[in-house]
Structure formats: structure tokens, C-alpha cells
């Protein structure tokens, strides 16, 4: 629990000094997957991690990655005290990382086309890209980037019989102890977001580590860097910092303006990744006129982000109207990338603790 001068509190897990957090602005996500690639080249290129996407971006509505993860259970029941049973995704639901026949075609005279060498290329991490739902011209879709939520009430941690998952005291990052883990995969079942992956080569489970070596400044240059997914994002849609940094934009967007909301709050793991919900151009009539009708159904957004999404969208609209009239808006300013160097408040607590 963190106490501010005014006596407001920011809910952190008990025993956690500070909590890393991210706000992702879905109105800036263009589905380019630069985050996905940045994460992959940093952490999951080989050694059994090839199929893993610690960071993925999926088109919504859609089954996502792994396929239909939202139907797989996990998380906590209504009381928040008992875990809800979860399923283990199978290989087809992730998709296998295809290998290709470049050499045969380019240098060995094969007349086959360049293709995944496995027969069963029937699913992958972005298989339903751009599909969404609805019918032309009133179809709708948007992109949802996802990493581990580093939850305040993580069901993966609770699920592990060996207590090999834990939440770091200093920043709330949830990790799988690679020495202690034996690959039972209860965490994979238990995570309702399916953000823990089993490494069949290592026989351990692995997951997004919030790039802790980067935020700790552990590279040869000693530089504190934000997680790769955020640093490399072209539209800079991710704010990274600490939820309990009350001067920071994350706290303001989440707790003060309440425009950043949790994905599937009903899973009750209390994620620390928050989303600015998407708006979209209005629907068209049969005669090609723009209508005063929202394109993305509110009930779908409520399904994803819970009832708080309504007030969040209303606030965003109000704030956009303000700037259109030429007035100031702190919310709009926080969502604008004025200076990437200042955007990441990752060293705010360093002085106090050293």
C-alpha cells in the first residue's frame, strides 16, 4: 500500500514497494507488431522460446493468441479468493513456428513454392489479422497489444505448487524462477490471459519479464531503458512507469481521470496493464451517409474492459471536444508524445531508496 501526502491510496499488492505499470493507448495502435518483433528479438528467438510471443498484438474482435484464450478460464472467482479452473492451450491453439524452404528453392533448384515446411499451417499468432466483426460497411476491428499484466493478484503465482512464480518486492514484476520451475504448467492454466508459456526444450515455463534487465540498466552501457515493446513502438502508444508514482501520467490516467481501464477485470487478477479504449468512425447508412451511431458496439467493449469503459470513453470524448475548442486538456497532453526521453518515469524512486 502506498500512501500519498493527500492520503489517497494506490492499491498495490501487500509487500510490494512499487508496482510497474503500463498504459496502452488503443487509439494509437496500428497493428504494426513492432513491439512483437522487438520483444522477440530480445528474448524469444531460440531455445524453445520460438513459438512464444511474450508480447503479441491481436485483432479484436477475434480469437487472438493463443486461439480463444478468453474462453480458457483461469483467474479468480467472484469472491476473489478461489481460483477459477483454467485450461492448458494445445499446440494448435498457439500455432507452430513454421520453418521455410528458402535454401531448396533458391540454391537447390526445387520447384516448390516457398512455404511453411510443416503441413499444418492452419493457425498462427496473427492468423485473423484485420478481420474483426460485422459486415461491410459497418464492420469493425481494432488492435489489442498484450503482454503479461504483472497482476496485483496474480493467479499464476497462486497456481504454482512449487512456489516458483513470485512478484518482486521492489517493482511488482511477476517472474517464473527458472531454477525452481519444473514445468508443471499450472501457471499456464491459471493465467486467464494465457501469458505464461511452457518451454518444452527447457521444461520450464517462461513469460514476459517486463524487460527487467533493461529497466534496471543492466546492459553494458548501464542505461535504464524502458521495455523493448514500449521503446520500439513507432506511435509510442505505451506509457511505462509506476502505478504509485502519483506525479506520473499512469496514475493520473488510471486513478484520477479513469480513462485507462483493465482488460477483462472480471478475471479479478487486477492487471497492471491498462488500456485507453478505442473509438472509431461512425456507422454508415445504406445510402452511404455517416450516421450518429457508434461503430464498435458498447456491449462488446464492456465485455472486454468491463463497465468502466463507458465513463472512460465519455471522458475521452469530452477532453477531445475541449482541445477542439482550443482549450487545454491534461489528458490529451499525457497521450501525446512530447518527448520520448521524458515519457518513461522509470527512475523516480531510485533516489529515495539508494
Partner 1 sequence: MSDQRETHDSTDDGLDLARRDFLKGIGATATVAGSASVLGDDLLGMDGLEVVDDPIGSYPYRDWEDLYREEWDWDSTARSTHSVNCTGSCSWEVFVRNGQVWRESQAGDYPQFDEDSPDPNPRGCQKGACYSDYVNADHRVLHPLRRTGERGEGMWERISWDEALTEIAEEVIDAVQDEEYDAISAFTPIPAMSPVSYCSGSRLTSLLGGVGHSFYDWYSDLPPGQPITWGTQTDNAESADWYHADYIIAWGSNINVTRIPDAKYFLEAAYNGTKRVGVFTDYSQTAIHCDEWIGPDPGSDTALALGMARTIVDAGLYDEAHLKEQTDMPLLVREDTGKFLRASEVPGVDVDVERADHVFVMADAEGELRVAPGSLGARDGQHDETASIELDFDPQLAVDRTVSTADGSVAVRSVWNRLREELSTYTPEFVTEETGVGRETHQEIAREFAEADRGKIIHGKGVNDWYHNDLGNRAIQLLVTLTGHIGRQGTGLDHYVGQEKIWTYEGWSKLNSPVPSRSVPTTLWTYYHCDVLDNADAETTRRVQEAIDNDWMPLYPSEREDGSRPDPRIMFIWRGNYFNQAKGNVAVEEQLWPKLDLVVDVNFRMDSSAMYSDIVLPSASHYEKYDLSMTDMHSYVHPFTPAVEPLGESKTDWQIFRELAAKIQELARERDDVVPVQDRQFDREIDLESVHEDFVRDWESDEEGRLADDREACEFILENSTETNPPDSDAQITFDDIDGTDEDNPERVRAVGDHWTSDLEEGEPYTPWKRYVQEKNPWPTFTGRQQYYIDHDWFLELDEELPTHKRAPTLQDRAEYPLNYNTPHGRWSIHSTWRDNEKMLRLQRGEPVVHLNPDDMDARDIEDGDTVRIYNDLGSVEVQAKQYPSGEPGTARMYFAWERFQFPGRGNFNSLVPLYMKPTQLVQYPEDTGEHLYFRPNYWGPTGVNSDVRVEVEPVDESDGSGGGGDE
Q: In sequence order, what are the residues at sequence separation of 6 or more whose Cβ sits closer than 8 angstroms to the Cβ of residue 306?
A: 261, 262, 264, 265, 266
| Among the residue ranges 132-140, 243-251, 253-261, 346-354, the one whose residues contact partner 1 (CB under 8 A) | 132-140
Beta bridge partners of 282: none
Rounded distance between C-alpha atoms, residue 56 and residue 126, angstroms: 8
Angle at 167 between CA 239 and CA 60, to 5 degrees: 45
Range 301-330, binding partner 1 (CB under 8 A): 320, 323-326, 329
The answer to the question of residue 157 lying near partner 1 (CB under 8 A) is: yes
Rounded distance between C-alpha atoms, residue 148 and residue 323, angstroms: 34
Q: Is 14 exposed, middle or buried, given 0-12, 13-18 or 19+ CB atoms closer than 10 A?
A: exposed
Query: What is the closest distance, in whole angstroms, from the C-beta atom of residue 147 to partner 1 in the complex?
Result: 15
With CB under 8 A as the contact rule, the residue among 1, 4, 88, 114 that binds partner 1 is 114
| Among the residue ranges 252-260, 261-269, 278-286, 302-310, the one whose residues contact partner 1 (CB under 8 A) | 278-286
Query: What is the closest distance, in whole angstroms, from the C-beta atom of residue 308 to partner 1 in the complex?
Result: 21
With CB under 8 A as the contact rule, the residue among 7, 113, 328, 354 that binds partner 1 is 113
Closest CA to 215 of 169, 264, 171, 273: 171
- Of the two residues 48 and 116, which places its CB atom closer to partner 1 in the complex? 116
* Upstream peptide bond of 142 is cis (omega within 30 degrees of 0): no
The answer to the question of residue 282 lying near partner 1 (CB under 8 A) is: yes
Range 215-234, binding partner 1 (CB under 8 A): 216, 218-220, 228, 231-234
> What stretches of 121-251 adopt beta strand conformation (E)?
142-146, 165-167, 174-176, 196-199, 204-207, 238-242
Other Cβ atoms closer than 10 A to 256: 13
The answer to the question of residue 68 lying near partner 1 (CB under 8 A) is: no
Range 75-104, binding partner 1 (CB under 8 A): 83, 95, 97-100, 102-103
Range 229-268, binding partner 1 (CB under 8 A): 231-236
Query: What is the closest distance, in whole angstroms, from the C-beta atom of residue 6 to partner 1 in the complex?
Result: 25
Q: What is the DSSP letter of 349?
A: T
Query: CA-CA distances (angstroms) from residue 246 to 24, 48, 106, 173, 201?
Result: 18, 40, 57, 19, 43
Query: What is the closest distance, in whole angstroms, from the C-beta atom of residue 247 to partner 1 in the complex?
Result: 20
- Of the two residues 4 and 290, which places its CB atom closer to partner 1 in the complex? 290
Query: What is the closest distance, in whole angstroms, from the C-beta atom of residue 353 to partner 1 in the complex?
Result: 15
Q: Is 323 exposed, middle or buried, given 0-12, 13-18 or 19+ CB atoms closer than 10 A?
A: middle
With CB under 8 A as the contact rule, the residue among 3, 4, 9, 336 that binds partner 1 is 336
Q: What is the DSSP letter of 239?
A: E
With CB under 8 A as the contact rule, the residue among 188, 209, 304, 346 that binds partner 1 is 209
Query: What is the closest distance, in whole angstroms, from the C-beta atom of residue 137 to partner 1 in the complex?
Result: 5
Query: What is the closest distance, in whole angstroms, from the C-beta atom of residue 235 to partner 1 in the complex?
Result: 4
The answer to the question of residue 132 lying near partner 1 (CB under 8 A) is: yes
Range 158-177, binding partner 1 (CB under 8 A): 158-163, 165-169, 175, 177
| Among the residue ranges 38-46, 67-75, 239-247, 259-267, the one whose residues contact partner 1 (CB under 8 A) | 38-46
Q: Is 218 exposed, middle or buried, given 0-12, 13-18 or 19+ CB atoms closer than 10 A?
A: middle
Closest CA to 125 of 218, 174, 56, 189: 56
Query: What is the closest distance, in whole angstroms, from the C-beta atom of residue 348 to partner 1 in the complex?
Result: 20
Number of H helices, E strands in the chain: 13, 12
Query: What is the closest distance, in whole angstroms, from the C-beta atom of residue 86 to partner 1 in the complex?
Result: 12
The answer to the question of residue 41 lying near partner 1 (CB under 8 A) is: yes
With CB under 8 A as the contact rule, the residue among 5, 7, 15, 352 that binds partner 1 is 15
Amino acid at each position: 500500500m502506498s500512501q500519498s501526502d493527500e492520503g489517497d491510496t494506490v492499491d498495490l499488492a501487500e509487500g510490494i514497494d512499487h508496482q510497474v505499470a503500463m498504459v496502452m493507448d488503443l487509439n494509437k495502435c496500428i497493428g504494426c507488431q513492432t513491439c512483437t518483433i522487438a520483444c522477440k528479438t530480445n528474448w524469444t528467438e531460440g531455445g524453445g522460446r520460438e513459438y512464444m510471443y511474450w508480447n503479441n498484438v491481436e485483432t479484436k474482435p477475434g480469437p487472438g493468441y493463443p486461439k480463444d484464450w478468453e474462453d480458457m478460464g483461469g483467474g479468480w472467482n467472484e469472491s476473489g479468493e478461489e481460483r477459477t479452473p483454467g485450461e492448458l492451450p494445445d499446440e494448435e491453439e498457439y500455432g507452430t513456428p513454421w520453418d521455410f524452404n528458402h535454401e531448396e528453392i533458391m540454391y537447390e533448384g526445387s520447384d516448390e513454392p516457398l512455404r511453411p515446411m510443416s503441413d499444418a499451417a492452419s493457425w498462427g499468432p496473427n492468423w485473423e489479422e484485420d478481420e474483426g466483426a460485422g459486415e461491410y460497411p459497418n464492420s469493425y476491428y481494432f488492435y489489442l497489444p498484450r503482454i503479461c499484466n504483472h497482476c496485483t493478484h496474480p493467479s499464476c503465482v497462486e497456481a504454482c505448487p512449487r512456489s516458483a512464480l513470485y512478484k518482486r518486492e521492489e517493482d511488482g514484476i511477476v517472474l517464473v524462477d527458472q531454477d525452481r520451475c519444473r514445468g508443471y504448467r499450472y501457471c499456464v492454466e491459471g493465467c486467464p490471459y494465457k501469458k505464461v508459456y511452457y518451454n518444452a526444450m527447457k521444461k520450464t515455463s517462461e513469460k514476459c519479464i517486463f524487460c527487467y534487465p533493461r529497466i534496471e540498466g543492466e546492459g553494458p552501457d548501464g542505461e535504464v531503458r524502458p521495455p523493448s515493446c514500449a521503446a520500439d513502438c513507432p506511435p509510442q502508444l505505451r506509457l511505462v512507469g509506476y502505478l504509485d508514482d502519483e506525479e506520473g501520467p499512469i496514475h493520473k490516467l488510471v486513478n484520477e481521470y479513469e480513462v485507462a481501464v483493465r482488460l477483462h477485470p472480471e478475471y479479478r487478477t487486477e492487471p497492471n496493464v491498462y488500456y485507453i479504449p478505442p473509438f472509431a468512425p461512425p456507422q454508415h447508412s445504406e445510402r452511404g451517409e455517416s450516421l450518429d451511431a457508434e461503430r464498435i458496439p458498447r456491449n462488446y467493449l464492456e465485455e472486454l474492459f468491463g463497465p468502466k469503459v463507458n465513463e472512460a470513453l465519455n471522458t475521452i470524448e469530452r477532453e477531445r471536444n475541449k482541445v477542439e475548442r482550443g482549450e487545454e486538456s491534461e489528458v490529451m497532453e499525457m497521450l501525446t508524445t512530447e518527448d520520448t526521453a521524458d515519457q518513461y518515469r522509470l527512475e523516480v524512486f531510485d533516489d529515495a531508496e539508494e
